[in-house]
Amino acid sequence: MYKLKFKGKLAAASAASLLTLSLGLSLPATASTVEFKDPAISPTYPGCAINEAPTGNDGGISYEWAVKMGKRDNATLINTVGAKSLSEIPPFYVSPDVGWTHTADWIALEVTEKTKLKVKVSRIEGVPFHIITPENTLFAKGYSRNMLIPGIAIYNGWDDTSCEDHRFNPSGNVDWSTLVFKGNNLNTAQKGTVEYEVKLMPGKYSIAVGGVPKALDSYPANDCDPADKTCYIYTGRHGYRMEIKTGH
């Protein structure tokens, strides 16, 4: 599945999304800055290394959000992610690289002061989305499902130089990236809400959010009938609401 968007195509898309909810929504923030965009200038596309040959589009991770916060701020983000985006399955995804870079959401967070960060992610229903291919054609559109089992991973730094790969490690360093793993909460309790707290020094951080439903012996096909409960939970795009606080 294609990612929601690609670097180099955000200027018009991000402006429209804030009006239509078609790609993402930021609710009022207190003194913080929240933008639905990739902060990197250089363009990139999923899988920029084809047959181990760089394509010249090595612009790092394609972030969905750019968030800047001080010592005591609040911000809320709303968007959609893939059902298993932090816990994809064999044979294409093998531990520890079980995250799907292009169906998870990535937040480029900048903290301007030493602070305590609190992140809370909850499932929500009915978030509109549309997916655009690298050729700028419509791949899919619809409204999000509401059975996300959310998980969070946080890393030191932003990545705007690596060749973005389809797979990443949500529990450690990402071998193709400059990011350094800091911590996670992969929701072993399988709840509809997950939280994570960490003390941060001033600097740049990357947050990945996605779905982490429990492992199954057999998984439904991507084109299964969503009227089936297992199909509904394990496939498609699911809505999330992320509340970010500093200093609380």
Report residues of the chain scoring pLDDT below 50.
1-23
SS3 232: helix
Q: Does residue 237 fall inside a structural domain?
A: yes
* Number of domain units in the chain: 1
Q: What is the pLDDT of residues 119-162, one digit of tens each?
A: 999 999 999 988 766 566 767 789 999 999 999 999 999 998 88
Q: Does residue 5 fall inside a structural domain?
A: no
Task: State the CATH number of the domain containing residue 240.
Answer: 2.60.120.380
Q: What is the pLDDT of residues 202-224, one digit of tens each?
A: 999 999 999 999 999 999 999 99
Question: Would you state the structure tokens that stand for residue 80, as one six-digit string?
Answer: 């959609």
Q: Does residue 162 fall inside a structural domain?
A: yes
Does residue 246 contact residue 120 with C-beta atoms inside 8 Å?
Answer: no
Q: What is this structure's pTM?
A: 0.85
Q: Does residue 6 fall inside a structural domain?
A: no
| Residue 15 confidence (pLDDT) | 28
The residues facing 195 across adjacent strands are: 120
| Residue 52 confidence (pLDDT) | 59
